Structure formats: C-alpha cells, structure tokens
Amino acid sequence: MTNIPGAKKAELPELPKISDRITFLYIEHCQINRKDSAITVTDSHGVANIPSAMISVLLLGPGSDITHRAMELIGDSGTCVLWVGEQGVRQYARGRALNHSSLLLEKQARLFSNVRTRVHVARTMYQMRFPNENVTEDSMQVLRGKEGARVRSIYRKWSKQTGVAWDRRTYDPDNFESGTPVNQALSSANFALYGLAYTVIAALGMSPGLGFVHTGHDLSFVYDFADLYKAETSIPLSFQAAQSLEEGEDIDSKIRRMMRDEFKSTHLLEKMVSDLKYLFDIHDIELPEADTINLWDDKEGLVPNGVSYSEYSHASSDDNLN
C-alpha cells in the first residue's frame, strides 16, 4: 500500500490532557486542510495553523469546507467535530465525542435507571430554576406545577415589558406560519437552544435520549437540559423580537440572529459545560482514554479484552489474542 504523506497518528500518551486543550473552537467561511500534525484554516484574512491535538471540540459553522485529510487527523487526535449554524445556533451533525471514555455515559445511565437517583437529578434541575426556594423534597407532581406557574409568570412578565400581546403558548409544527409572531419566535428560539444543548451533550459523550424529566424521545435529555436556560434566553429574546419586528421582516431569521449573538455574548456554551458537570456531580472531566477496552463480568467487574477464555478458567497468557 502506498504511504500517504503526513505525520503518524499520535499515541495516547502524546495527546494533551483535556484540561490543557483549547475547549471549543468555532470557525466559519473558511477552508480547513491539513499540514503535518496541524489543521490549516484559510479565510480572507490568511492562513492559521492549529495543532489538532490542542482542540477539544471543533464547531464548523456556515461556509466551512473541510478536507478528508483534515478529518483523518482530527479523528486520530480524539477531537469532537460538530457541524453547526452561526455561533452554534443550530446543530446539524456530529462526529466522535470529545472523550473516548464511556464513563460519563455510564454515570448518566446509572442515574437514569434508578428511580431514587433519577428523581434526585430531576430535583436538582428544578432547584437550579428555583435558587431562592428549597424544592429538594417536593414530589415530581408538585415540581411540574411549580415549573408551569413559573413559566407562565415569565411569559406574562415579558408581555408586559414589551407590550406584545400574549394569550398562551400555541404552535403547529406542520404549519409554522399559523402562529403569532411571538409564538413563531419562541419555536425558532427554542430550536436554536436545543441545538446548543445537543452540542454540549454530544461533545461530552453523553446520551441525548436518557432524560430525567422528559422521557420516551431520542432527545429527551436535550429538552431537559435546554429548559434550564429558556427563561434567560429564548423567552425574553422572542418577545423582544416580536416587539421590534418590522413589516416584511422574517421573524425566524431575526430571532435566530438574536440567539446567535446571545450565545456568543453570554458564553452560554461554556456555562452549559459547567452546569452539566454540576448536575452530574462531575468534579473533573479528566477521563481515561478508552482505547484499552475491557470485558464486563457481573461478578468480577472488568476483565481483560483480547483474550481467549476457556469455560472453566480465567485467561491464559498463552491464549492472549493481542
């Protein structure tokens, strides 16, 4: 086979710790290629060389054109790649998760699969929305009622502040134009928020489907997580967008740009990462690389992989398959 020029794949000990990497790098309207162990980003301002092993998550915005060779290097470096809208306002597709370990996913699954711990996580999410009130002993039914009242009061607050008439939240997913301007804006703004939440969840290797409040949908946890931020982002911006909407202006484009600017100015992506760590009691995201895969045993825990096991004994050194 003909050797392809370029640096060899980095060994795991050579890769920087996650804490030493650039966290999330967003680029748009550029050509991404590869030069040795760096990706090259070319736009109207020139060329930038970025060591791929220094990037944790690469967000490719509109107008990004990436080569196969660049993707090969990024994959070898353990970098997560996501294709997004402007400033992460939409999430269209993703590559491999940021970490190669399944520990965060396993922790999420353990918390999800036990009623007691699932309720605890759900209460923690509600407590984040009620910082001045202790809700840690409330039932899920009571919490749903409190959350409904909270959201309705937020709608009324912004309706009064902006002068935008408000009746109730109504929308037809099959007929976007049938909604009022503020309801249209809310649909688009929430969709943008879901995209950013999905980006963080996917980048950390967690499941978007294992929700603690929502359930039964492949994006249940995305809806759980995004709900933490609607009161400060999508709701006020939607009322402001409807208030300032000019004749002939497209509300969907307007609110999408407003959400994009909000994500950037408030560093919401970084806050989401921090909140997710808090939610799951993760003190450090330094995780072991999982290129060494073990086998699971219900009595012994983890046993070596790549070994030919007999029916009655543990692995024999003579039977090692590696």
How far apart CA 207 and CA 104 sit, in angstroms, is 9
Write out the E strands in the chain: 22-27, 30-35, 38-43, 46-51, 55-60, 64-66, 80-84, 91-94, 294-297, 301-304
Q: Residue 126 in 3-state DSSP?
A: helix
How far apart CA 62 and CA 177 sit, in angstroms, is 25
Q: Residue 280 in 3-state DSSP?
A: coil
Residue whose structure tokens are 């603690």: 212
Main-chain phi, psi angles of 231, to 5 degrees? -65, -25
- Tell me 87's DSSP state: G
Binding residues: 147, 214, 227
How far apart CA 86 and CA 142 sit, in angstroms, is 38
The pairing of strands 38-43 and 294-297 is unpaired
How far apart CA 90 and CA 72 sit, in angstroms, is 24
Residue whose structure tokens are 């009623």: 115
- Name the token pair of 57: 């998550």
Q: Residue 307 in 3-state DSSP?
A: strand
- Name the token pair of 37: 């162990």
Binding residues for Mn(2+): 147, 214, 227
Cross-strand partners of 267: none
Q: Which of 125, 93, 115, 142 is nearest to 221 (CA)?
A: 125
